[in-house]
C-alpha cells in the first residue's frame, strides 16, 4: 500500500500549489522577501516606523462553511476568512501586513481548494496585506471526503503612540454603526437550523425584492480596512472601534469601552435588514436571542466625538458603506448590569 492508497495524494497537492502560486504572489507587498514554497514566509517591517507594535488576530468561518460546501460556493468563504481576522486587528488602528491560512480536508479537491485560496488572496489584496503562506492538510478518516475547515491568522502594525485601544473614550462620545451586508460569518449554527425548519433551499427567495436566500446568506463578510484607513488619513479622532461578530452588539461593542462606561443604543436609528426578519419569523427566534446572535445590520462600530460624526458619515458614504449614528457612550449607572443598554436583555 502507498500513501495515495491510504488517502493522501501528494501529486495532487503539488499541482494545487502550482495552481494557486500566481494568486498568492499577486498579494505580495514590496516588503515580502522570496516566494511561495519556503519553510517560512519572510517580510520586512515597512520603512519609517518609529516605535511599531505588532497586532495579531486569528479566526475561522465557523459553520458557514457547511452551507457554502453544500452549495459549492468556495470563493466567498476565502474572503470571509480574511475579513474575520482583518476586521479584528484594524480596530486598534493597525494596518494589516500579512496573512496565513490553514485548510484541513478529508480528501483534496483541487478545484474547490483553489477557489478558497483565490478568495483568500482576493480578501488580502482588498486589505493591503500579503498572503505570506499557509498549510493544506489532507486528513482522510478525520474529515469526510469533500469537506474542509479553515483557519486564518493576520499580523498588522501600528505606531505605539497611534494605538486605538479605547482609553480615549469618554461619556458623551457618539457611536456610529457601519452597515453589514448580511449575516457575515457568525450565527450559522442557528441559521442552518432555521433553513431546515423552513425547508429552504437554493430556490427559496425572501423579502419584497424576492432575493435568493442562499445567495444573501453566503455573501462575503464586509471588509472595513479601507474605511479605517480613510478615517485615519482624514485625521478623525477615533476613540475606539468594534467589529460586530458572534454575540452581536451586546457582546462586542462593550469590548472597546473603558471600565465605568456603557453604550446606549437606539435600535430604531437604522432599518433592520429583511434577512433578519426572515430568520426570526421562520425560526421563531426570540428578540433577545436575535440581538445576542446576529449583527442585525451593523458590522462595525466607530466611537468618536459628536463633532466628528458628520465627517465620518461622509467618508462612509464615499466608500458606499451605509452608516448611522446609533447611540452614545454613558457612565454606567448602579442599575446597569452590563456595558450596553437600549437593546433586549
CA distance between the termini of the chain: 59
Does 13 have pLDDT greater than 90? no
Share of the chain above pLDDT 70, in %: 94
Phi/psi of residue 180, each to 5°?
-90, 170
pLDDT value for 182 = 97
Which residues, at least 6 apart from 135, have a Cβ–Cβ distance to it below 8 Å? Answer: 101, 102, 103
| Edge-to-edge strands, sheet with 298-304 | 240-243, 298-304, 174-179, 323-331, 261-265, 340-341
C-alpha cell at 186: 457568525
Query: Residue 277 and residue 268: Cα distance in Å, rounded?
Result: 15
Does 16 have pLDDT greater than 90? no
Query: Residue 278 and residue 271: Cα distance in Å, rounded?
Result: 14
Q: Domain boundaries in the chain?
A: 3-162, 174-341
Domain 3-162 coded CATH 3.40.50.300: no
Q: What pLDDT, in 10s, does the model give residues 287-329?
A: 999 999 999 999 999 999 999 999 999 999 999 999 999 999 9
Q: What pLDDT, in 10s, does the model give residues 161-172?
A: 999 999 999 999
Q: Which residue has the higher pLDDT, 335 or 91?
A: 91
b vs e for 181-210, b when ≥16 Cβ sit within 10 Å of the residue's Cβ?
Answer: bbbbbbbbebbbebbeebebeeebebeeee
Q: 130-138 and 95-105 as β-strands: parallel, antiparallel, unpaired?
A: parallel
Comparing CA positions, the residue from 255, 257, 232, 259 lying closest to residue 245 is 255
The H helix count followed by the E strand count for the chain is 12, 14
If DSSP codes are grouped into helix, strand and coil, which group holds residue 52? Answer: strand
Contact criterion met (CB below 8 Å) for 148 and 104: yes
Comparing CA positions, the residue from 142, 138, 141, 82 lying closest to residue 112 is 138
Q: List the CATH code of the domain at 174-341.
A: 3.90.650.10
pLDDT value for 82 = 98
Contact criterion met (CB below 8 Å) for 102 and 150: yes
pLDDT value for 200 = 97
Which residues, at least 6 apart from 239, have a Cβ–Cβ distance to it below 8 Å? Answer: 164, 166, 168, 169, 170, 173, 303, 304, 305
Which residues, at least 6 apart from 175, have a Cβ–Cβ distance to it below 8 Å? Answer: 253, 263, 265, 301, 302, 303, 325, 326, 327, 328, 329
Query: Residue 269 and residue 9: Cα distance in Å, rounded?
Result: 54
Q: What pLDDT, in 10s, does the model give residues 218-277?
A: 999 999 999 999 999 999 999 999 999 999 999 999 999 999 999 999 999 999 999 999
Helices (H), the chain: 3-6, 10-25, 64-70, 75-89, 110-127, 188-197, 213-217, 225-233, 248-252, 274-283, 287-291, 309-318
The β-bridge partners of 243 are: 300
Give the pLDDT band of residue 203 (cuts 50, 70, 90): very high
Query: Residue 104 and residue 142: Cα distance in Å, rounded?
Result: 9
Comparing CA positions, the residue from 145, 103, 111, 150 lying closest to residue 7 is 145
Does 145 have pLDDT greater than 80? yes
Query: Residue 339 and residue 333: Cα distance in Å, rounded?
Result: 10
Does 141 have pLDDT greater than 80? yes
- Geometric angle at alpha carbon 217, from 216 and 221, rounded to 5°: 95
Amino acid at each position: 500500500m502507498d500513501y495515495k492508497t491510504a488517502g493522501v495524494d501528494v501529486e495532487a497537492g503539488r499541482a494545487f500549489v502550482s495552481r494557486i502560486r500566481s494568486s498568492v504572489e499577486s498579494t505580495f507587498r514590496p516588503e515580502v522577501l522570496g516566494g511561495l514554497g519556503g519553510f517560512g514566509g519572510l517580510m520586512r517591517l515597512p520603512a519609517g516606523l518609529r516605535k511599531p507594535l505588532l497586532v495579531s488576530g486569528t479566526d475561522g468561518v465557523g459553520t458557514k462553511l457547511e452551507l457554502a460546501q453544500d452549495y459549492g460556493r468556495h470563493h466567498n468563504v476565502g474572503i470571509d476568512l480574511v475579513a474575520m481576522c482583518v476586521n479584528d486587528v484594524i480596530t486598534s488602528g493597525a494596518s494589516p501586513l500579512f496573512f496565513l491560512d490553514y485548510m484541513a480536508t478529508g480528501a483534496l479537491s483541487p478545484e474547490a481548494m483553489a477557489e478558497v485560496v483565490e478568495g483568500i488572496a482576493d480578501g488580502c489584496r482588498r486589505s493591503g496585506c500579503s498572503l505570506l503562506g499557509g498549510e493544506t492538510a489532507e486528513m482522510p478518516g478525520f474529515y469526510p471526503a469533500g469537506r474542509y475547515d479553515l483557519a486564518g491568522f493576520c499580523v498588522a502594525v501600528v505606531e505605539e503612540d497611534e494605538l486605538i485601544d479605547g482609553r480615549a473614550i469618554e461619556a458623551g462620545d457618539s457611536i456610529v454603526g457601519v452597515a453589514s451586508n448580511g449575516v457575515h460569518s457568525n450565527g450559522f449554527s442557528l441559521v442552518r437550523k432555521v433553513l431546515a425548519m423552513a425547508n429552504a433551499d437554493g430556490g427559496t427567495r425572501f423579502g419584497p425584492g424576492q432575493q435568493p436566500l442562499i445567495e444573501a446568506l453566503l455573501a462575503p463578510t464586509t471588509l472595513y480596512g479601507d474605511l479605517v484607513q480613510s478615517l485615519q488619513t482624514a485625521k478623525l479622532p477615533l476613540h475606539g472601534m468594534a467589529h460586530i461578530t458572534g454575540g452581536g452588539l451586546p457582546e462586542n461593542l462593550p469590548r472597546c469601552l473603558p471600565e465605568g462606561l456603557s453604550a446606549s443604543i437606539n435600535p430604531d436609528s437604522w432599518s433592520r435588514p429583511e434577512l433578519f426578519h426572515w430568520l426570526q419569523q421562520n425560526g421563531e427566534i426570540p428578540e433577545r436571542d436575535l440581538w445576542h446572535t446576529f449583527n442585525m445590520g451593523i458590522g462595525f462600530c466607530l466611537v468618536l466625538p459628536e463633532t466628528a460624526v458628520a465627517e465620518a458619515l461622509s467618508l462612509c458614504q464615499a466608500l458606499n458603506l451605509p452608516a448611522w449614528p446609533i447611540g452614545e457612550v454613558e457612565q454606567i449607572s448602579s442599575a446597569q448590569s452590563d456595558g450596553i443598554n437600549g437593546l433586549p436583555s
